[in-house]
Structure 1
Amino acid sequence: MNNNNKIGLAALTALVFSSMVGAGIFSLPQNMAEVAGVDAMIVGWLITGAGILLLAGCFLHLSRLVPELDGGIYTYAKAGFGDTAGFLSAWGYWLCATIGVVSYLVVAFAAIGSLTDTTDFILFGDGNTIPAFFGESLVLWLVHYLVLRGVKQAALINLLATLAKSLPLILFIGCAWWYFEPAKFTFDHAGHALQTPFIDQVKNTMLITLWVFTGVEGAIILSERAKNRNDIGKATCFGVVFALILYVAISLLSLGVMNRAEVAALPNPSMAGIMALMTGFGGKVLISIGLIISVLASYLSWILYSAEVPCTAAEYGAFPKRFSDKNKNGTSPAALMMTSITVQICLLMVMFTGKGYNTLVLISTSMILIPYFLVAAFLVKLSFRINTTLSVRLIGTGASLYGLWLIYAAGLDALMLSSLLYVPGLILYFYTKRTQRIPAQSS
């Protein structure tokens, strides 16, 4: 690939950060307050912080131990556990990314609706009206055209959008720090009013915290496009640390501005309601605009990932060969088209069923559980195969345990849902193997 189309450290870090810090952060205070008290939130963030840092460490060490494996999510699972595991990882990740970008479009137009709609006039509603569908479709195909013109150009626009969306978040943290009242923060800190056991409160935070960190692998997915391979691990760690600081600060400081029950009762995006309490209607508008910019920037990041994974898998024979063909700008038109058409179909389903952001988040998050676990398990397997240091083995083991904890915390419903969504992927996989006359392998 032409070096002019390569991505530098700043753009890679922005992609990782932007893919994690999207719609979820603006609804995070209400989402967390609805299921857990302060004590359980702190424990949940400690588990998540440690787990995500360990997972980021897996990506960091794997990028150095096996630099020849580009694409990460697919190639790590394939190298560690065979072709079938690799494909399932790629399919699960692709579905997670694709359904995730649908949720971004829906919540972006819901945020616009919160500024334009009234009780007597509903234009965009919760992002599932007919006008919202046409607006979302317009954004979808404009971004499709942008990505066709090249990943580097899309990454540059994402960098600028990331800088713009960070300002309202930093302003919110500053205001929340100023208005913070310890008495509100400590009121019912154990969450007794929820009438939920402590361990269940912690478990209930897990899918929420996993969703807001989905995207940690962004630099690895685009590793083939990095100017310097050493930037891959750095971008991953920088993005995770920046995002973790923002998430913890926003979710906990909010509970010092309003008590837990009040925050739990807020409509989403709940940050806008808290900001309105502190600064008036102008603050609500600022947060809503920040949400729209944030969501569209994250949407751009995830479209890049969605198109990249099938392209990488096709190069190894797991997806049809046409997905590996790239245009002069380094983009796979077939992979991008499959992603855009799938997003368009999902938008139609949202419009006809009336489902919103929360449903899409549940489906998307359930698909990422297995791919993340396989990455960590591959580092454990590799660390013993090539006899790495003890610290590398501990990082892989810790991340694997975190992956198993997430699967347990997600519950049976999420596992059943993800299992059903893997079925069409397996049909495509075995069809591809048959037509290319490549025997399916497993470990």
Structure 2
Amino acid sequence: MPSSSPQTKFSAWTLMGIVVGSMVGAGIFSLPQAFGRATGPLGAVIAWTIAGVGMLMVAFVFQTLSERRPDLDAGIYAYAKEGFGNYAGFLSALGYWSAALLGNVSYFVLIKSTLGLFFPIFGDGNTVVAVATSSCLLWAMHWLILQGIRQAAALNAVVTAAKLIPIMVFIILVLLAFKWEAFSGGFWGEGDRTVTAIANQVRSTMLVTVFVFVGIEGASVYSRYAMKRSDVGIATVGGFLIVLGLMLAVTLLSYGILSPGELGQLRNPSMAGVLAAAVGPWGAVFVSVGLIISVAGAYLAWVLLAAEILYSASKYETMPRFLSRENSKGVPANALWLTNILVQLFLILTLFTQYAFTLAVAMTSSMILIPYFFVAAYGVKLSWSRRATRQFPGHAEFMQSLLALIYTSGLIYAAGAKHLLLTTLLYCPGTVLFSLARREQGERVFNHWEKAAFGLLFLSAAVTIFEIANGRISI
């Protein structure tokens, strides 16, 4: 990518557009079904409260680190490396990049699933025709981005504004059709009215809430483009609050139209089914058009983020050098090619997966947990060291980082063994890139602790393959 010259500087509004554009994609359109299948309004309020507070703490950590360590660009990767070493930084970059890949796959699947509402040949987004059409869109977008990063960022800002309109219209129309008796009738969800049952309901929504907030770090990833360093924090927190309000409204208002059981039976994009129930069949068409605009914009934002993280990691000598090579337009072309070739591969693999969208969402959320955990842990480490050297301005930064660390640790637990084991199938072979980078520098690949960490990853990946072969883990 081009150097951070004045011509390539982004304002706070542009950075906020990247944050909002990254978060508002496929996830928000599937919220009614995802929450209806898991819980009722009570569980949804508790889940969003936990997720809102937890992710707000993560946003505060990004804001604080952007101010305390302005020398570290592409934050989500650089913080892990600075705090915990080269391999931790690599795993953070690889996890973030993999989440971007899988998120982009889910976007394509959802677009085709949406078209499947009207054209059965697309099915649930995983038919041969759906994959072929997605592939054409993938490479058309690839060509667009190769023409220049600034043009792509400007287009992202326009699309972000355009895709918020149908979501706002949905909220207004559903609010007008809201029925209190439907909302109160399913208040406790479909399960028992016990604390344990509600706790289980809330836990089952945690990966969904992670998925819809992925992208909160967008401004931090592009911190080297910021006009002012403080703009990174403003864009992160401001973008998060906007998206949280939209997520809450879409989730809770849907319970006033259909019961949790009915919401859980909707096909995705489930917002289409909710609006159709509220205003008639045209509502499904309206939401479907809005989704296609939204997902196209989210894909653009995410492929930019994916290429940027590979480029930055290569510049920091944690990824192989070929990933930092740019074309004549200043775009990291090699990073973009590698990203989209793998997206293409995963699109082909969706032909063999019955629930392609659900699996892509769960895997995206699981892969992003390690990078978020490292950011929160570095926040704790930095604020504690500043406190010990009397540079700490108060207890707020430490407590925010600690709460973010507790929240991200809880998410790793909530992800469950299956999805965490599946992530090792990406982390373990992906370490080849780390090995290549270290050998390019003439350095030893692992130190003592890193060798132990890789050994654990390798063992976990072997167990995962064995469990899949024996049918105990399904994909």
Q: State the partner residue of 1:83.
A: 86
Structure 1 letter corresponding to 2:425:
L
Q: How many angstroms does 1:413 deviate by?
A: 1.2
Structure 2 letter corresponding to 1:110:
S
Identical aligned pairs, as a percentage? 42
Q: How many angstroms does 1:206 deviate by?
A: 0.3
Q: How many angstroms does 1:8 deviate by?
A: 2.2
Q: State the partner residue of 2:417.
A: 412
Q: State the partner residue of 1:49.
A: 52
1:213-261 deviations in Å (ceiling 9; x for gaps): 0110011111112233221111111110010000001100110111222
Q: State the partner residue of 2:188.
A: 190
* RMSD (CA atoms): 1.6
Q: Helix, strand or coil for the counterpart of 2:182? A: helix
TM-score (norm 2): 0.89
The answer to whether the 8 A contact 2:39-2:190 is kept is: no
Q: How many angstroms does 1:355 deviate by?
A: 4.5
Q: Which of 64, 67, 83 lines up with 1:64 in the alignment?
A: 67
Distance in structure 2 (CA, Å) of the matches to 1:260 and 1:347: 31
Q: State the partner residue of 1:290.
A: 290
Q: State the partner residue of 1:96.
A: 99
Distance in structure 2 (CA, Å) of the matches to 1:35 and 1:393: 34
Q: State the partner residue of 1:6.
A: 9
Structure 1 letter corresponding to 2:244:
L
Q: Helix, strand or coil for the counterpart of 2:116? A: helix
Q: Helix, strand or coil for the counterpart of 1:29? A: helix
Q: Mind listing any 5+ residue stretches in structure 1 that lack a counterpart?
A: none
1:83-117 deviations in Å (ceiling 9; x for gaps): 010001111111011111011111112212223x1
Q: Helix, strand or coil for the counterpart of 1:77? A: helix
Q: Helix, strand or coil for the counterpart of 1:365? A: helix
Q: State the partner residue of 2:270.
A: 270
Q: How many angstroms does 1:377 deviate by?
A: 0.6
Distance in structure 2 (CA, Å) of the matches to 1:193 and 1:74: 41
Aligned length: 438
Higher relative contact order (CA 8 A, sep 6+): 1
TM-score (norm 1): 0.95
Within the alignment, does 1:74 sit opposite 2:90 as a pair?
A: no
Distance in structure 2 (CA, Å) of the matches to 1:279 and 1:270: 14
1:55-77 deviations in Å (ceiling 9; x for gaps): 00010000000011000111000
Q: How many angstroms does 1:287 deviate by?
A: 0.4
Distance in structure 2 (CA, Å) of the matches to 1:216 and 1:205: 18
1:379-420 deviations in Å (ceiling 9; x for gaps): 110012222221000110010000011011111112211123
Q: Which of 404, 427, 435 lines up with 2:432 in the alignment?
A: 427
The answer to whether the 8 A contact 1:7-1:152 is kept is: no
Distance in structure 1 (CA, Å) of the matches to 2:75 and 2:321: 19
Q: Helix, strand or coil for the counterpart of 1:329? A: coil
Q: State the partner residue of 2:245.
A: 245
Q: How many angstroms does 1:319 deviate by?
A: 0.7
Q: State the partner residue of 1:361.
A: 361
Distance in structure 2 (CA, Å) of the matches to 1:356 and 1:377: 32
The answer to whether the 8 A contact 1:98-1:306 is kept is: yes
Distance in structure 2 (CA, Å) of the matches to 1:148 and 1:315: 19
The answer to whether the 8 A contact 1:97-1:306 is kept is: yes
Q: How many angstroms does 1:265 deviate by?
A: 1.6
Distance in structure 1 (CA, Å) of the matches to 2:83 and 2:236: 21
1:325-347 deviations in Å (ceiling 9; x for gaps): 22343321111110011011111
Q: State the partner residue of 1:224.
A: 224
Please identify, of 353-362 and 219-228, the stretch whose mean Cα deviation from structure 2 is larger. 353-362
Within the alignment, does 1:208 sit opposite 2:208 as a pair?
A: yes
Q: How many angstroms does 1:130 deviate by?
A: 2.0
Q: State the partner residue of 1:148.
A: 146
Q: State the partner residue of 2:306.
A: 306
